[in-house]
Structure 1
Amino acid sequence: MEGAKVLIIQKSLPHYRLTFFEGLRRFLLTKGVELSLAYGNGNKEDQKKQDLVKLDWAIPYENEVFSVAGKELYWQPLLHLVADFDLVVVEQANKLLLNYMLMVRKKKNGFKLAFWGHGIAENIGVSKTSKLWKQRLFHQADWWFAYTRGVADLLSRFGIDSSIITVVQNAIDTKKLQADFEAGSQEELDLIKETYNIKGNCLGIYCGGIYEEKRSAFLLDAVIAVREQIADFEFIVVGAGCEDFYWKNAALAYPFIHYLGPQFGAQKAALLKLSDVFLCPGLVGLAVLDAFVTQCPLITTDYRYHSPEVDYLEHGYNGLITDNTLDDYVQEVVALLEDEQRLNEMKTACAISAAKYSIEHMVDNFGKGILSALQPTLNTVS
């Protein structure tokens, strides 16, 4: 295995992945394994986010992105590279045409193929046909890097041998947020309350992108209902997106709602530290790590379109997952806010979970999975 070469292919390289790839490269070098990363320029939507970065030791390339029957497809011009590697790791996505070529050529070129993905993602607008096609391709990989334990369990139910599945525990680097959270003083928190005219001592927050899957209309109704039961309750909204008009208008209509737009660094950490609960009845993804680090228990619903990272949320321990009804959601939020002991216990559990789901653990999990995938095996897909 020493001297083995591994290639990871990504259609883009967002800033939040830098720490992971740097850490993974260092981990593998200590084992005598060389990691290469090929990254594309994404699509127009990726580029609009303005968070794509470069990496001096990696291989940049240009995606060819086009539409067929209303479906976006990618061509990644990297076939000339793959024969030089022992293991090629690709994103598990129907729209990546190179993946199909690699499935066909891996035996001839002598490399193993690994998928890194969600299994079957539940997203608004994803057709049943797309999900079935994704399912049919499950067995075309020699190894799987599953985002979470829930994804691994799903793969096992579809007949993927658990011995070729690595649970990655997908994460981002939260060290800066942790440091900002710990550094925030009571004087700074008081100044924030004064600056934004926050008078209540019972605070909820939403922090993240504001778009359809986040369910702003549901959340706004919930916040108003909570306020009707807890007179001291106020709500902070941090973020932006195509549906942020809900909160711009709500902040004008309700003095207890404070829409602050995007916030970053120490300011974001302080706002989360100031808050008692993180309310997100819609899609939960990596924002759950922000909630853990800042000890602000996240409350969501059993919404069908969550990202895999919702697996990290343990109902009644480090957060809540309520029934997907407004009445149940409001009832659970109010009950937690009125139970100081339970809320403090949940905050402590958040801190424990923050240590468990870290970028360091993700690097370790992924690195060990690569080492296992490189071992000779009898169950390699032909």
Structure 2
Amino acid sequence: MRELAIVQPYVPQYRVPFFEGLSRALEADGVTLRVIAGTPTGAQEARADAAQADWLETVTPRGLDIGSRHLSLTYSRSLWRNADAVIVPHQGTSLDAVSAIAYRGSRRVGVWGHIAPYTSPLNVIDGAIERWQLRRARHVFAYMPGGAEFARRVGVESSRITTVMNSIDSADLESELTHQSATLARASLHARGVPDGRYLAYVGGLDESKRITFLARALDVLHGRNSDVHLVVLGTGEQSGILGPAAARGQVTLLGYGGTADKAAVLLGAEAVVNPGRIGLIAVDCLASRTPLITTEWPWHAPEVEYLTKGVHMHVAANDVSAFADAMDRGASGALAPADDAWPDPPTIQAMVQNFRSGVRRLLR
């Protein structure tokens, strides 16, 4: 059996089905998978979604903040130095990633992640390091086609790139959506404080990357207009308190962190999902539940925004609080929902596993 190690900053709960599926698939290829990760800190820890699994090997995270930059000084090399191959995050500020590629020796090293700078502008140093990582890595695993195209533009041969088609276990959500009745789901939400009537949903972490302050300001605008838009929030994070004033005046119901059944109950009755910034895997939830997404013309959405078609599944307001409030008003009326036949099937975790498995085969070839 050959050994492959995958290094992660931390493993959120939604990644568990992927790693367990990949482990089974690679075992059939004669490859043992080890997943090595730090424990979450800061905003990630506040999301309360860290995975607990007996196969997960953890290391103590270490970091250093220099201005707006966070350097990850976590060093897990002692755990994977005897592996045949290691896949590290594509991250110019990660000591693990830089050292794995710089001192790879005979070991085969891959990188995975967004690959393109989707969610924030890169400074000159980080950009240069990340392009060096791409060119020197044996194989590149890009979440989405845009990342794969970026790798090609900086000189990586197509044969060394795998497009993963990043996803979550949408089958579990689809099953819950099928088996939960709208009546019982609504009764469950009502028992948790959600008032009767139409509502919008926010699903995900509550931190700066999701522009929670912007969302709170839009709610202030709606309150000033005497709008009856109600927002149901499933998720938690270090900025939960920013939505406290809107919750106190009855605009928002804060449900906290929830699992798949909670997500299905919220999405079943939602007129639309709102996310003013950094659209990510919520795009998969929207496809699975056939719920339109309201967002903004913000340049730093995550790769999974590529799953949604603007003007069909995704309604994009100007990057302005009042314009976003207008879109929320329209969305709450049900006016944004496309026809049922406009929805493609969501990407599956099974397809993601097979795509990644194909890349691992090429990495180890």
TM-score range, shorter chain: 0.7 to 0.9
The amino acid of 1:209's aligned partner reads: G
Distance 1:47 1:205, change over 3 A: closer
Please say if 1:41 is aligned against 2:35. no
Task: Tell me what 1:261 maps to.
Answer: 256
Please say which structure displays the higher CA radius of gyration. Answer: 1
Q: Separation in 1 of the partners of 2:45 and 2:217? A: 34
Residues 81-133 of structure 1: CA distance to partner in whole angstroms, max 9, x if unpaired? 44541x32111122332333332333x4x232111112244556964432333
Please say if 1:299 is aligned against 2:299. no
What's the offset of the Cα at 1:277? Answer: 0.3
Please say if 1:169 is aligned against 2:165. yes
Aligned residue runs from structure 1 range 108-257, under 5 A: 108=105, 110-123=106-119, 127-192=123-188, 194-195=190-191, 196=193, 198-200=195-197, 202-223=198-219, 233-253=229-249, 255-257=250-252
What's the offset of the Cα at 1:270? Answer: 1.1
The amino acid of 2:232's aligned partner reads: I
Distance 1:5 1:178, change over 3 A: same
1:364 to 346, 354, 358: 354
1:88 to 86, 89, 111: 86
Q: Percent identity?
A: 25
Question: Does the 8 A contact of 1:11 with 1:63 survive in 2?
Answer: no
What's the offset of the Cα at 1:72? Answer: 3.2
Question: Does the 8 A contact of 1:198 with 1:256 survive in 2?
Answer: no
Please say if 1:283 is aligned against 2:278. yes
Distance 1:150 1:256, change over 3 A: same
Distance 1:249 1:104, change over 3 A: closer
For structure 2, the residue ranges without an aligned partner over 5 or more in a row are: none
2:7 to 9, 28, 44: 9
TM-score relative to the length of structure 2? 0.84
SS in 1 for 2:88: strand
Distance 1:149 1:227, change over 3 A: farther
- CA RMSD between the two structures: 3.2
The amino acid of 2:355's aligned partner reads: N
Question: Does the 8 A contact of 1:213 with 1:305 survive in 2?
Answer: no
Question: Does the 8 A contact of 1:295 with 1:348 survive in 2?
Answer: no
TM-score relative to the length of structure 1? 0.81
Task: Tell me what 1:378 maps to.
Answer: none
What's the offset of the Cα at 1:271? Answer: 1.7
What's the offset of the Cα at 1:198? Answer: 1.9
The amino acid of 2:108's aligned partner reads: K
What's the offset of the Cα at 1:177? Answer: 2.5
Task: Tell me what 2:21 maps to.
Answer: 23
Which range is displaced more, 260-269 or 46-55?
46-55
Distance 1:68 1:301, change over 3 A: closer
SS in 2 for 1:35: strand
The amino acid of 1:104's aligned partner reads: A
SS in 2 for 1:40: strand
The amino acid of 1:23's aligned partner reads: G
Which range is displaced more, 150-159 or 73-82?
73-82
Question: Does the 8 A contact of 1:120 with 1:134 survive in 2?
Answer: no
Q: Separation in 2 of the partners of 1:48 and 1:324? A: 27
Question: Does the 8 A contact of 2:182 with 2:268 survive in 1?
Answer: no
Q: Separation in 2 of the partners of 1:218 and 1:61? A: 35
What's the offset of the Cα at 1:311? Answer: 1.8
SS in 1 for 2:200: strand
Task: Count the aligned residue pairs.
Answer: 361
For structure 1, the residue ranges without an aligned partner over 5 or more in a row are: 376-382
Distance 1:126 1:11, change over 3 A: same
1:98 to 96, 99, 113: 96
